[in-house]
Chains A and B, each alone.
Chain A
Amino acid sequence: MFAYVVRRIAAAIPTLAVIVTIAFFMMRVAPGGPFDLDRALTPEIEARIKAAYRLDQPLHRQYLAYVGDVLSGDFGPSFKSRDFTVAELMKAGFPASLRIGAAAIVLAILVGMGLGTLAALRQNTPADYATMGLAMTGITIPNFVMAPLLTLVFGVYLSLLPVAGWNDGAIRNLVLPVIVLALPQIAYIARLTRGSMVEVLGANYIRTARAKGMPERIVVVRHALKAAALPVVSYLGPATAGILTGSVVVETIFDLPGMGRYFVQGALNRDYTLVMATVIVYAALIIVLNLIVDLLYGVLDPKVRYA
C-alpha cells in the first residue's frame, strides 16, 4: 500500500503542473489586468508598476519565473491587497474555512447517512418520502436564501445565536454557517446513501446475516452501511475539497474571514498571484482527497486490492 501511495503522489506532480499552466494562461488571456483603473496612470508610473510585478516581460518568461517562485515556496505578493503576500492572505483565510468546512462535512455525513439509512429501511413508505422530501429542501433552497432566513429566525427573532461575525471562531458564531454549508451536502449524501442502501439490503449476504438471527441493528450498521457507504465516499472526495476551501456566499453573509472570497475577488480583480494560489491549494486538496477516497475504498470493500 505504501508503494501505491508513493506512486499516486508521483503521478500527481504532472497533474498539478498542467493545472498550474492552464490556470496561469487562462487568467492572462482574460481581458483586463490588475492595474486597470478608471483613472489612467502616467506612463512612467505604469511602467514602474509593471516592472515591479514582472508584467513587462513576455508571457512565457513570467510563467517560468512564477513556476520557479512557487517551487521555492514563494507565492508572490498579492496584486491587489498591497502590503500583503499571498502566503499571508492564505494563512489568514484558510484556517477559518478549514474549521467551518470540516465541521460542516462531519455534520453532513452523520445526518445525511442517518437519514438515508432510515429512508432505505422504510422504502416507499410515508416515512421514506418525508425524509427524502426534507433532505431535498437542502438542494432546492439556495444557500443565499437559507443563510439570511436562519439568521432572521435564530439571530433576530429568537436571539439565540449571533447574526454574523467570526469572534475568533467561537462555537456560537459557527453554528449557523456550518448548518448552511452542511444542508445541501446532507441532501446529496442522504440521496446517495438511500440509493445504495436499498440495493445492499437486497443482497444475499444481508439475507444470510438476518437468517442466522443477527440483530437488525448490527446487520444494518456493521454489514450494510459499510457497503452502502462506497458511493458516498467517492462523492465526498471532490465535495470536501470544495467545502474546505470556503464558500463565498456563506462568508459574505456571515462576515467570516475565510478563503472562499479569494476565488471570486481574485478572479474579478485579476489578482493573478492570489488566484493561482487558490487554484493550487484547491487542486492539491482534490488530489489528496481522491487518494484518501481510493484508500478508504480498500478498507470498505474487500474486493479492492492495490496493485
Chain B
Amino acid sequence: MTVLAAGPSERAVAGRSLWRDARARLLRNRAAVGSLVVLGAIALLALLAPYLSIHPYDKVYFDRIQVPPEFAAGHWFGTDGSGRDLFVRTLYGARVSLMVGLLATAVALAIGVVYGAVAGFVGGRVDELMMRAVDVMYSLPFMFFVIILMVMFGRNIYLIFVALGAVEWLTMARIVRGQTLSVRRKEYIEAARASGVPAPTIIRRHVIPNVLGPVIVYVTLTVPHVIIVESFISFLGLGVQEPLTSWGVLVSEGARVMEEAPWMLLFPAGFLAATLFSLNFVGDGLRDALDPKQRP
C-alpha cells in the first residue's frame, strides 16, 4: 500500500522522460505521422459507418446487382454480387477487421506480457520450464490450432479471435522475457527488493513499465498480422457469417470476380492495404523513436 501511495509524487518529478523524448521523435517522423492520420481516418469512418451512407449494410437491391460505382444512387463503391452497397459494407468490414485485430492483440498482450515478465523475473528452473512450454507450442502448426479452435467455438468470430490471441502471445512472451532479463539486475529493481516490495508488485510496477518499448512496437506488427490471418480464415470460408462482413470476406469475394467486377476487389483491398501499410510505418516509427541509441 505504501508503494501505491508513492505514485503521484513520482509522476510529479517526471521531467524529460524517455516517453516524452520518444513522442517528440515520433512526431518528427513524417511517414509515421501520416500513417497515424490515415489510421485515425479509417477508424473514424468505421465508427460513423451507419451515418455515412443512405444504404443499410445488409439491404439487397435486386435491380442493382454487381453494378460499378454509381454516384447518383449513392453507391460510391458500387454494389456486390448480392446487390448490397459496397461502400457501407467496406466500412462495416473495417469495424470487424479492426475489432478482431485489436481484440486478439489485446489478449496476446495480456498473456504474453505477464507470462514473459514472470518467467524472466523469477528465472532459474521456472523460467526454463515456462520457455520450454512456449517452444513446444511454437512447434504446433498454426493452421491446426486455428481450425480446431474454430470447430470448438463454432462460428463466433469474437471468441475465435480471443482464442487466436491466445495463440499469438508466444512471440510476445519471448520478447518480454528477453527484456525482463536485461532489467532485472538494474539498481531500481535491487532497491525495490531491498525495501521489501513483494515480487508481484515489482513485476507490475517496475518490470512491466520498463519493458514496454519493444512490446509496443510488436503490438503494431501483431494487429496487421491478425488482420491478415482473419482474411485467410475468410478465404477458407470460415470467417464471419453473412450478412456481417470483414475486409477478409470482401477481399476474397472480390478476388473471385476481379476480372468482371474489379471494384469489388479494389475498394476493400485498398482499405486493407492502407491499414496494413500504416500500421507497419507506425511500428517502424515507434521502434526508431523508442530506441535509446537515437536519443540526441
Contacts and interface: CB of A to CB of B under 8 A. Distances in A.
B158 interface: no
A214 interface: no
B151 A263 contact: no
B217 to A, nearest CB: 11
Prevailing SS type, chain B contact patch: helix
Interface string A108-152: 000000000000000000000100010011011110110011001
Contact of B269 (A141, A152, A263): A141
A211 B191 CA distance: 45
Contacts of A140: 224, 272-273, 276-277, 280
Interface string A205-220: 0000000000000000
Contact of B152 (A30, A129, A278): A30
B276 A139 contact: yes
Contact of A144 (B152, B235, B276): B235
Contacts of A149: 255, 258
Contacts of A287: 139
B224 A23 contact: no
Contact of B135 (A15, A30, A142, A195): A15
Prevailing SS type, chain A contact patch: helix
Which bracket fits the contact residues of B? 35 or more
Contacts of B148: 26-27, 30, 267
B19 interface: no
Contacts, number: 104
Interface residues of A, number: 41
A145 B251 contact: yes
B140 A23 contact: yes
A286 B139 contact: yes
B54 interface: no
B136 A267 contact: no
A282 B139 contact: yes
Interface string A16-35: 00110011001101111000
A248 interface: yes
The 6 closest A-B pairs by CB, nearest first: A267-B147, A140-B276, A140-B273, A283-B139, A263-B143, A282-B141
Interface of B: 31, 132, 135-136, 138-144, 147-148, 151-152, 224, 228, 231-232, 235-236, 248, 251-252, 254-256, 258-259, 265, 269, 272-273, 276-277, 280, 287
